[in-house]
Amino acid sequence: MKNKIFIPIVLTVSAIFSSCLKDTPFMDVSNTKPIIEFGLSAASGNFGPFAYGGNTLAQYDTAIALVIASPQVLGTSVTATVQLDTAQVGAFNAMNNDTLIVMPDSLYSLSSTTISIAAGFRVGSIPVVFNFQKFPAHYAYALPLKIVGAYMGSTSDDLIVSPNSNTFMWYFQQ
């Protein structure tokens, strides 16, 4: 009688535990295409408000990071292109009931909108210089950027532009 109860229990437990052995513990991403995105972890891509208090700082040199997400470091250099994306400002204003305007060219400079990330590296930077001496006493400006494309070597080797992290917007208010 004990065997009649014991044997089905052992078989059931064995079947349950053996079924788990067939699962693959990790997703294989070795054949996925590389993705390019802005290198900050915030999903919204909006950063600010940054208030400038009017000290004697004439210019502020900074950079925005572009990151390549790939299973392995790429053996080919990557060229990425960014551009101003004024639609972000309108969407931000509508969502936040705000009155930001696109920052005039006289208040910032981008040395280039084409960024090169060397082979063997995952991070590149977009140099930006803000001319704080030219900021008016009261302002509400935004500098919205968007990744429009990236490729390795030739334009036939496009990287995927992240749909979640392809925009970035600094905004300044005082």
Domains of the chain: 31-173 (2.60.40.1740)
Please give the Cα distance from 119 to 86 (Å, whole number): 32
Question: Nearest CA to 102 among 117, 87, 113?
Answer: 87
Please give the Cα distance from 170 to 52 (Å, whole number): 13
pLDDT tens, N- to C-terminus, the chain (174 residues):
566 777 778 777 777 776 655 556 677 767 788 999 988 654 445 566 555 555 556 677 788 889 999 888 889 999 999 999 999 999 999 998 999 999 999 989 998 889 999 999 999 988 988 888 888 878 889 999 999 999 987 666 789 999 888 998 888 887
- Within a 13 Å sphere around the CA of 41, how many CA atoms are in the beta-carbon half? 0
Q: If you ran DSSP here, which 8-state letter would residue 67 be given?
A: E
Task: Look at strands 140-152 and 78-84 and give their pairing.
Answer: antiparallel
